[in-house]
Amino acid sequence: MSGAVYPLQDNQLGAANPRDNVWLSASAGTGKTQVLSARVLRMLLTPGVDPSQILCLTFTKAGAAEMATRINSVLARWVRLDAGTLGKELKYLGAPIDPDTQAHARTLFASVLDCPGGGLRIDTIHAFSQWLLANFPEEAKLTPGARPMEDRERELLAREVLAQMLSEGDEEFAAAVANFSKLKEPDSLRQWLMRCAKSADMWEGQGAWQSPMDARVRSVLGIPVDAGDEWVYEGLGPDRFPDDHVLRMIGPLQEWGTKTADKCIPFMQEWLGLGHEERIGAYSGFRGKLLRADGEPALNLKKPRETYPGFVEGQDLVSQAIKMVEERRALLNLATFLTSAFEMGRKFALRWEKAKEREGYLDFDDLIRRAAQLLGNTDASAWIRYKLDRSFDHILIDEAQDTNESQWDIVFALIDDFFSGEGARGDKIRTIFTVGDYKQAIFGFQGTSPENFEAAKLKVKARIDAAKANAHELRDERLLPTWNDLDLGRSFRTALPVLDFVNQTMDAIGHAEFGLTKPSEPHEGDDRAGLVTLWEPVRGGEEEAGHEDRKQDWLPAHDTQMAENIAEQVRRWVSGEEPFVLEKDYERTGKRRHAQAGDVMVLVRKRKDLARQIVAKLHSKGVAVAGVDRLRLGEPLAVKDLMAALRFASQPLDDLSLANVLVSPLIGWTQEELLEYVPRAPKKRLWDHLRVHEAPRVLETAEKLKALLARADFETPQDLLSWLLTGPWAARRKLVARLGREANDPIDELINSAFAYQAAHTPSLAGFIEWFDAGTTDLKRDADDAGGQVRVMTVHGSKGLQAPIVILADATGDPDTKGDLELRDDRLGDQAQDARKVPLPSLKKEEQVGPVEIASDASKAAAMQEHWRLLYVAMTRAEEALFIGGSLGKQRAQKGPHEDSWYARLEPLFDDGPTDADEIWGTRREFGNRADNQDISLDSPGHDEGDALPRWLTNPVGEEPKPPRPLAPSSAGEEQGADPPLAPEIAKDAARRGTLIHALLERLPDVAPDDRREAAKRWLSRRAPDLDETTRGEMLESALSVLKEPDFAEIFSDKALAEVPLTAQVGGVVIAGTADRLLVTSDSVTVVDFKTSRRPPTDPDHIPRGTIKQMAAYASALEVIYPGREIRAAVLYTHAPQLFEIERAKLDEHKRSLGDTQDKFVPLDIE
């Protein structure tokens, strides 16, 4: 993503042609993002193409950000490239290199920045839908102020709606809820109600499901509307049941003459004499006689089955007749249950929609559904499409295999007039570009439908063919639309031996198992060293029941040992004990290198405890690890410890919370201390016991806890958290020391949650705890910016990423074939694609009969296909080495991995290779070859031999300033802190947040205290309309909390000045900057600078050196401006809020180095 342009090869060049409509199937690692970016660049280079009329739709925000960064980086470079280099890059793209094209290329960066919104429209489909609805709110019938719903808001609103409905006295609804809860798992009710709420099209529009639903349910299940017991048992009557076969089977059984035969004969004879009504209570008697207990033919009647030709047929017919009766009975029971469930679900769904409208909420499904309706099903649709037809001439779709049916509806509406009528616009070229890979369709659990990928291609091609045919018929001279169906199969990521293994895997499993209609083209790649290794599984044994050495572990012993083995293996690689040699850049640099922590990616199929255990084990062995890629905010130990402290502060008599706090890093008791000091009289509360304990350790702890309780009733949750983290408890430092730097992210998110709560509610500690417990927030770590650390993530999370070494940590796991069941409400009987989908709740195996059984089988088949596609994605993340392992519990250890596990299917591919002993794994088997342990570079992975000269030798020297160049205090000294630098997008957001809070603190002191909140809200809504209310509320609360502090009253009084420009020459250096607050009296001058960092220091001694240097610059300038007066300098951290005055000695110490910055010629960054 550095903005480099590489030569396009073969089909890449054809796919980038901006005049063609292209459908591109791109295998993993074939450079699809490079092609997508190159096509956009080629479009921008084409005369007459307006950058604002290009629309790129991606599946993820990360994909959108990556594409935007690549394109903008290239355009920015082109502005300053010399003609020769620019011509070479244009040639790489297949573009003309004439002077006019080069001159046009240099203007593109400015043209893109001038687009509405400040850049190209590169959005996720959800973001585009939100933009579309925002542009046509009246036509979309949006509630004023509508906004996307957060996860916690969804959870809280769902609880509120259900509670209201249960309290209203609707007996039918309450009975349905009680019956459903009794029959299903505890969490099934909530899941079912939200599925009904998600299926909004079932309850609205033409053919919507209305009450009563019994007939509709029976129709979907294939049951006659008037079916009852007669229909269930009609197959038992003498005229329908295979009595003739039963009669003929008696003779062979009598000839056989065994006890088994004697058990069958009396029942069969009796059966033939029974009437229809009597048979209803007797048909189960066939089980254990002619039939097994499961209803299948009994195989123990060996002689009759072997000697009498019609005996087997008779058993089959009896089995079928009994099964039909039981299936019909199960269908009737199911119909009764589903009717109640649908009635309940419909009521909830309708109330849910009203509640969302009342609150102004839109969830992700609403965005897509409403956007699709807006473009296709409203009176204004034609007008909207006409307006949009003037907005976009080129549409590019990334990750098309993960685009679902509703999302395709939006795309088709956008291109509806591309190839016909006025939409063709004469000679103006209008194109659609789509790239995807069916083999990488792995998001079925999110509702994606990869089968639409092929259907969409046929639909687009049909439109283009029709446009061509019409043009020929009318002898239209305009440019005809072109169609190019291309494949990319050459990988620029993965070594050829690993790709050979992938090819063999797909051949062994079979293309149909991946959901492909034909075998895919073999993968090709660079012929360099590549290795695939199969580790012997870690097997559980008798110690699984409990092991004294594993009391601290929360996983079974075999999973814990797997995590231990992986951590030890990685430690040996990166420590040099068993170095793993990589040679990806060998041809370019002539050097190989040893693997580092950042070269390793550990993949798991699901985000379970194993991933967190691997992270913990790596951390304990000193291996740099970035933590899991995504986690729930309430799950990290750091958050649990802090919330335990808050729970104790809210309820001091909560013994469990207090005990958790005591043994957490916040207090730091050992288990031995807990056992020594906690025992007390029966029914005596732990806090009451500790308050009167006289042990020095307990007295010290009690004083800390009393300090916490003293603040609990008077401070907001955010203030209390900030005090815990940065005050005397120093909780952040202690938690990071125990849990690693990855604990910082959840800590910061917890503070953000407190801000969000405070912005939307009257803050109270008990209220925050209830609010926090009511919902969940997912933390997503940007794994692509792991910064030299091992990445541990799910295969789904690794999509689009890569690593030299990839470890599949749970390849022995059973396939997950569970999925949401749904039927088709096919009223016309033609299996139409637009038949309404009918969701079903989770059903037991015995409930899955008739159409439901067919749907269940189809769901399992689709899940198995996704299981294999997930394997493909996992294997193709590896650049040079793939390691396959897993663990087996006690039972599986005996039988081996499941036959359809990744491990079981991959193991036969190693049969031709040797089995080597391994100190960690017992044995290992290898496919491919390791890199030679020669020509090893000792430099870090990021070292570039081509940049061996010092940068100062090749960079132009800045002209010496005359007069002396001004020094901005905010740039006077910048130190690398303990935390890694923020990613560019995060840094940009953080800088904007700081600017807005600074502006509030400049303006609000002049506003009456009672009016400040409303004034700030109005100002923020004008200055930052693109930010959501939660983010703006957090900024508002941060500013107001500062102004409320009595200790800061003087610096915000009318005597103090705001945003004061300062300029002075000190020792030949011109210092120029802007002071946030300046208080001037007759004998002293106080300068205060605001800092909006979310991680403020705990005391003045921990203020960053760069900040002290900045304040020293201010102080030096003020000594010149106000000679003879005492100069005081202080830093106000708005997040705490806390004011630290910097000692005079520290200021004097840093004044001496102010001139150093003058020599650096760094860009000014004046606050």
CATH of the domain at 1019: 3.90.320.10
Q: Do 290 and 181 share a domain, yes or no?
A: yes
Q: Give the pLDDT confidence score for residue 945 in this predicted structure.
A: 40
Bridge partner residues of 122 (DSSP): 56
Please indicate, yes or no, if residue 4 is contained in any of the structural domains: no
- Pairing between β-strand 1126-1133 and β-strand 1138-1141 as defined by DSSP bridges: antiparallel
Q: Based on the domain organization, do 1037 and 1022 belong to the same domain?
A: yes
Same domain as 750, residue 810? no
pLDDT at residue 477, as a whole number: 55
Question: What's the pLDDT at 784?
Answer: 57
Q: What is the pLDDT of residue 782?
A: 62
* Distance from C-alpha of 723 to C-alpha of 711, rounded to nearest angstrom: 9
**282 and 342 both lie in a single domain:** yes
In-domain check, residue 949:
no
Domains identified in the chain, total number: 5
Query: What's the CATH code of the domain at 914?
Result: 3.40.50.300
CATH number of the domain encompassing residue 720: 1.10.486.10
Estimate the share of the chain in helix, then strand, then coil, as percent rounded to the nearest 5. 55, 15, 35
Residue 135 placed within a domain: yes
**Pair (898, 988) in one structural domain:** no
- Distance between CA 1106 and CA 1129 in Å, rounded? 14
The tokens describing 1095, both together, are: 């991680």
52 found inside a domain: yes
Final residue of a structural domain among 929, 957, 988: 929
Asked if 726 and 837 sit in the same domain, the reply is no
Under-70 pLDDT residues of the chain? 1-3, 377-378, 389-390, 420-427, 447, 472-479, 541-554, 629-631, 776-786, 827-834, 938-989, 1136, 1152-1167
CA–CA distance, 798 with 875 (Å, rounded to integer) = 11
Q: Are residues 760 and 621 in the same domain?
A: no
Task: Tell me which of 325, 360, 395 is where a domain ends.
Answer: 360
Instruction: Indicate whether 1122 and 981 sit together in one domain.
Output: yes
Residues 648 and 612 reside in one and the same domain: no
pLDDT of residue 1164: 30
Sign of the CA dihedral with 882 first, then 888, 894, and 897 last? negative
Say if residue 998 is in the same domain as residue 1099. yes
Q: In whole angstroms, what is the distance from residue 402 CA to residue 1027 CA? A: 28
Residue 356 belongs to a domain: yes
Compute the C-alpha angle 894/895/898, nearest 5°: 135
- Contact present, 291 and 321 (Cβ < 8 Å): no
Please give the pLDDT value at position 478.
Answer: 58
For 648, the domain range is 631-780
The helix (H) or strand (E) run that includes residue 1126 is: strand 1126-1133
Helix (H) / strand (E) element for 1078: namely: strand 1069-1080
- In whole angstroms, give the CA distance from residue 699 to residue 705: 10
Indicate whether 620 and 635 sit together in one domain. Answer: no
Half-sphere exposure of 942 (CA within 13 A, CB side): 4
Q: What is the pLDDT of residue 957?
A: 53
Alpha helix positions (H), 692-798: 696-712, 717-726, 731-739, 744-760, 765-774
- Residue pair 329/230 in contact (Cβ under 8 Å)? The answer is no
Give the torsion sign (CA, 834, 338, 204, 820). Answer: negative
- The rounded Cα 1167 to chain-centroid distance in angstroms is 35
Report the C-alpha gap between 1091 and 970 in whole angstroms: 11
Run of H or E residues at 922: strand 922-929
**What DSSP designation does 1104 have?**
-
Instruction: Name the binding residues.
Output: 26-33
- The confidence score (pLDDT) of residue 527 equals 87
Q: Which of 458, 488, 518 is the last residue of a domain?
A: 488
User: Dihedral of the CA atoms 553, 554, 557, 563 (nearest 10)?
Assistant: -80
- CA 177 to CA 605: how far, in whole Å? 34
Q: Please check whether residue 293 is in contact with residue 287, taking contact to mean a CB–CB distance below 8 angstroms.
A: yes
As annotated, the binding site for ATP includes 26-33
CA atoms within 13 A on the CB side of 911: 6
- Identify the CA nearest to 723 among candidates 775, 646, 833: 646
Together in a domain, 33 and 46: yes
Residue 943: its pLDDT value, please?
42
